[in-house]
Chains A and B, each alone.
Chain A
């Protein structure tokens, strides 16, 4: 149990276009989901905390108008990178926390975004 999926696993897009990444908790409900980005040889950097039915909370330095997060249900959160640029190329990882537990967090497999 406790499986989190992401779609797509990798995406290549042209500069200036928008890309949507989906994060789903497959066998549990997640009131809270998190979005991270990770550059090569670096640790995960938390971008935002997403709560079902409310606005996401962004970490300092993360542009909320560029990285749109929607958490419309207890099993789905989406991250849209708007007007993508090459510097947005990165590995994006989501995680989900079980609704009934505040400290169990499960990670998705990640999405590799390449902006050309």
Chain B
């Protein structure tokens, strides 16, 4: 299973763009990159998933360089409600299980 590395914590002011980078050096050809958000005492919530280049949805963008050894989750104009833990996961299409790393605890400051 591909191991991921991301910052343990980040702080940001309200209204700023936040970029969280995740390293996954041993990502395999058939792996997807998925990001989840988790609030205290809740299950993780799917944010975005991608394979290469750039993916955008209504809440975030995901940038994946050509070598796919890293990815960056971009949250535009964060608000206090974006304070949460963000997990970067590498998901294999041929394996069943997903292993969570420690995630990045994002604190948005007024």
Residues of A within 8 A of B (CB): 4, 6, 32, 34, 36, 42-46, 49, 51, 91, 93, 95, 97, 102-110, 112
Contact = CB atoms under 8 A, between A and B. Distances in A.
Contacts of B45: 107
Contacts of B101: 43
Secondary structure class of chain B's binding surface, majority of residues: loop
A34 B100 CA distance: 12
User: What is the size category of the interface that chain B forms with chain A?
Assistant: 20 to 34
Nearest to B97: A49
Contacts of B65: none
B46 A106 contact: yes
Contacts of B96: 32, 49, 51, 97, 102
Contacts of B44: 44, 93, 95, 107
B93 A91 contact: no
Contacts of A32: 96
Given A43-B87, A43-B102, A103-B32, A34 B97 contact: yes
Interface in B57-88: 87
A41 B87 CA distance: 14
A115 to B, nearest CB: 17
B42 interface: yes
B41 A43 contact: no
B38 to A, nearest CB: 8
Given A103-B32, A112-B41, A43 B103 contact: yes
B100 to A, nearest CB: 4
